[in-house]
Structure 1
Amino acid sequence: MKKYLAFTGMLGFMLANSQVVMGGSTPLNSHTQLELQNSGQKVLILPVAENETILPKYNSSQPDKYDDDATMEAMLMYNKSESLTKVYDGTKWEQAFNAKNKSTTWTRANINSTNMTCLSTSDLFGQLLQLCSSDNLKFSVPQNSSQFSDYLSVVRDSETFRIRQKGLYRINFNVLFSGFTAGFDFNGARITIVVVVNGVEKAYMSGKASPFINVGNYLVSTDGVLFLDVNNDVKFRLVLDGSSWSISSYNFGGTTESSVSIERVL
């Protein structure tokens, strides 16, 4: 019995202090318990979640969407809907593997082509009809371009910036748009860019196109400042409002002059 207990103790000690190597035979680091070595085209496939609702501990009733569980800290999963590897920090899932050596203080993206139209009529008692379109602007980040960066935030989809660093941000908006306004008063068409953070309207950038009958190209630049937190989703909604008895049609973006930059200033 004593020999059995001694043998079991020695075996337990050896297992507790052993190192497991996959992809090789000799550990490269004395501190690792599980070591993955790569020689040739070998990869590690992480567990996959289709979206954030499939990630363990998801709870929509929690303010941060996840239950706390310290025993699961450092768990990794790949979120397919965001194209990001996420790590659980004991309270929530965060983005893993940020490229620190490439961090900058700004992100810039092209504004893709978007068409907007508006028809408006009125009488002495007010507006009778307004059929105007509004839509989220679409963006794209050119690859292998030194003039564009996607390190401060990530274009989660064609409409959304997801912020990676908390701070005070300067949002610079430049857009070339072309089209026409035909109306019969002095107001012209009002064009508004709404900055939407997590579904809430936070800032407005607005201007007017020329009244009466006018056809032309316009280059508009404007700035705004917002406080943004980690994982905030930022969209830009374009709204076209017509004046009384007018019709407007404009095409926004799709040119090298049309871009949005988000710069952390503090």
Structure 2
Amino acid sequence: MKNFNLLIINLWLILYISLIPYTQAETWQAQLSNGNVLQVDSQTRRPVLKHHDHTAPLWDGVHKLQNNSIVIIKNGVVVPNEKMYQSWLQPPHPKTKVAIDPCELLVRRVCGLQGNCSTSQSCDLAQQLQTLEGNVSNTNLAKNKKEQADKSAKTAKSAKANQNNAEQRNKDKNACRKALLDVVTFPPCGQDAQDPNSACAKLVTKTCGNKSQCKSSSACDAAQQLMVLEQQALLNGQSNNTDCMDALDNAFFVTCQ
């Protein structure tokens, strides 16, 4: 689990740097060892083999890519790997970047996506930073309304106050951004990755084993990838991710013996 916890930390940092909502995922493609191009549809996850102008479905089994990695196809559907997920999670042509407020992201990371670490000292510190930003914003908003009551006399002063308020909010957000990079003082909530009530946690235990004795299996690797995606979905406010729940009954995710 140590390596997986490091993966969770890296995921939080990646999400902090750039969080882009997506509406249409790209088709993942790679070159097979024989030079043909393999394409995988993001919606159906069905593989297509391209050779010049001709296309054909790819048979079940393990297929080697030119970079020596492998792709597994079972029942006509690709078992997704991390690179496929990364491709599908990014929009082909993002129009705008909508980033989560850094203070909100800090609280989610440290206190837990479901509040599992809400009693920790690091969570308390994160909430203090968030409260500080909120109090400054609310105080400044009330002050602005009062100043704007007499527009004729205070137009210049109000403009200056708005500028000062924006600068103060930026300072508070910068404090949260710095805190996000300090994984020692503000560590990710470790209980999120091992929540026994999570379908993904149950899937990882099922495929990897209670003592990770099957950690090298393809089923374990795929289950851990789904668990990371669940973390990302929760971070973006999506609580209806059923991939792990569906996978529990999937024949590919065999129980570790």
Q: Do both share a fold (TM > 0.5)? A: no
Please give the TM-score of this superposition, normalised by the length of structure 2: 0.20
Relative contact order higher in (CA < 8 Å, ≥ 6 apart): 1
Give 1 or 2 for the bigger CA radius of gyration: 1
Please give the TM-score of this superposition, normalised by the length of structure 1: 0.20
More helix by share: 2
